[in-house]
Every structure is written in structure tokens, then in C-alpha cells.
Structure 1
Amino acid sequence: MDERQFRNAMGKFATGVTVIAAEVDGNVHGMTANAFMSVSLSPKLVVISIAEKAQMLEKIKQSGAFSVNILASDQKDLSMVFAGQMKDHQEVVFDRLDGVPVLPNVLTQISCEVTAAHVEGDHTLFIGRVTDIHVNDSDPLIYYSGKYRSLAEE
């Protein structure tokens, strides 16, 4: 199987859309990611997967903390900004959750402290201990087969 076939197959798994944020030397950095999942309830742990070539990799290593911001269905533009697909945009202002930068008005904000990092293939998996969480009531932004989607009403 070639790389394109693998990517297409993995794209058949519908995911939510997140923005991962970290702060280094007073500067907040963010990137769009859909490689996120919960790992454990006790202790409360999540994992994110960051490509070795991503600038965000070193930012998380330096910071030792990160946030996961789960986007709502009306936040496609925010996803595109942090994916580098939208160059002309207003500056994004961050809030704080347990001292970690988070995006305001997202579906869910999760602040995390890095507890472990595992290099696997061309990615690093960061395990984060959840230090705080804030949830809003809204529908999620969905990513499926290379396109943004929304949940359909039943």
C-alpha cells in the first residue's frame, strides 16, 4: 500500500477538530489537529500526536504544557487559521485555563501538563495530565474524508 492509499483510508474515520496551543517565552503557538483522544479516567489523561516536522513539536517540549481546544461547528475558519490555510485573518486572542492558553468560545477547553512523550514513526505522542476543563453546549466541527462537516439532525 502506498502513502496516499493509507491517508485516504485513515480519512474515512470521522473526527472532531482541535487546535492545540502552547506558550513559550510569552508567545502562544497553535496548530490544528485531529489526532487527539482520551486515554484514562483515573488519572485523567489525553494524548495528542504531533508530526516530527511540525513547529509545534518543539513548542510543546519547551512548554511542558498544552491545551486542546475542541472546535464547534461554526469554527471552521479558526481551524483553517491554525492549519495555515487562511493567511488574511484577525489576530487570535487567547484566554487562560489553569495558566495555559485556550481559545475562547470553543466547544471544549482542556489544559494539560505533559507527563510523557513517545516517538513513534514520524510523530511524537504527548501524554497530557488534564489539569482543568471547560465545556460549552454546542455541536462539534467534524472532519471526514478531507472535508469539514457538521452533525446532521435526526
Structure 2
Amino acid sequence: MDLKEFRNCMGRFATGVTVVTCNEGDDCHGLTANSFTSVSLEPPLVLVSIDRNTKAYHKLKDNRFIVNILAANQEDIALHFAGKPYETLPFNWEKTDYGHRIKHSLAYIECEPWAEYDGGDHVLFLGKVINFNYENGEPLGYYGGKFSKIVQD
């Protein structure tokens, strides 16, 4: 199987864009992720899929995390956490009891660790939702390896 072509095939599934953040002591960490989904309403659980070879994997292991769902005008934040950091942060942190979240994200979901599962070259982190909030607005989309707009009627 041609893995590059498989990746291109999977890129035909349009997703939203999140930044998953966590704290390690006083340090804030984050990574851009589009592999995110709701799993359960009772109990409220969400899942993020993280590459085993990233620094973020070690930061998230057995740790609280916050999923920040990005708005259409927050592409620079997604790039910052996708390995193209800006010298000056393109956002402000907002400290909570669960870590630091991105101020003015379209939504945030604060989680306690629930379970971890082997996902091949990724680890599937399930978080129990402890707190959340959302705003109305346009989400940042991702399709075919590029940021895109999600059109609402």
C-alpha cells in the first residue's frame, strides 16, 4: 500500500481544527490536531489521536488536557502549534483550574485523563469532559492538506 496515497485519501475527509493544550508544571504546551471526536455523552468523553513520536505524546500521557476548537480567523494559531511558531504569540493564554486554554477559541473542552489506547503509530487519548464552553462563529476547516472554510447555510 502506498502510504502517501492513503494519507491523501484520508485528506478527503473534511475536519475542524483544534489545538490540544496541557501544562507541565508552569509550562504550557500544545499541538495542532484535526483527529478529534466526541465519543460518549454518558459519561462525557472525547478522543484525540496523537503521534507517538511527538513531544506532545509525552506531555499528554496521564495529564489533563484542553481541546481548543479554532475559529476561521485563527489559522495563525494552528500554524504556531503545527511546528511553524511565531516569534510573538498570535493568541493569549487563559489560565483555568485544568491548565491553559487559548483565549477566544470557538469552543474549549477541558478534560481529565480517562484512558489511552494503542493506535499504531498514534496513541488514542480519551478524556472525561469536566468543563466546556462555546461561542457562535465560523470554524476553521481542514481539507486535502489545506485550511479551508466550512460554509454554513
Fold-level similarity (TM above 0.5): yes
Q: In the alignment, residue 37 of structure 1 is paired with which amino acid? A: T
Correspondence for 2:80: 81
Correspondence for 1:126: 125
Unaligned 5+ segments in structure 2 are: none
Please give the alpha-carbon distance, in whole angstroms, between the structure 2 residues aligned to 1:89 and 1:8: 33
Unaligned 5+ segments in structure 1 are: none
Q: Give 1:99 shift.
A: 2.7
SS at match of 2:61: helix
CA RMSD across the alignment: 1.4
Contact 1:81 1:89 in 2 (8 A): no
* Cα separation, partners in 2 of 1:147 and 1:91, compared to 1, 3 Å: closer
Correspondence for 2:71: 72
Correspondence for 1:30: 30
Q: Give 1:153 shift.
A: 5.0
Q: Give 1:91 shift.
A: 6.7
Cα offsets for 1:6-48 (capped at 9, x unmatched): 1000000000000000100210000000010000000000000
Aligned residues: 153
| Mapping of residues 1-150 of structure 1, within 5 Å | 1-61=1-61, 64-90=63-89, 92-150=91-149
Q: In the alignment, residue 57 of structure 1 is paired with which amino acid? A: Y
Contact 1:98 1:131 in 2 (8 A): no
SS at match of 1:67: strand
Q: Give 1:94 shift.
A: 1.4
Please give the alpha-carbon distance, in whole angstroms, between the structure 2 residues aligned to 1:94 and 1:87: 15
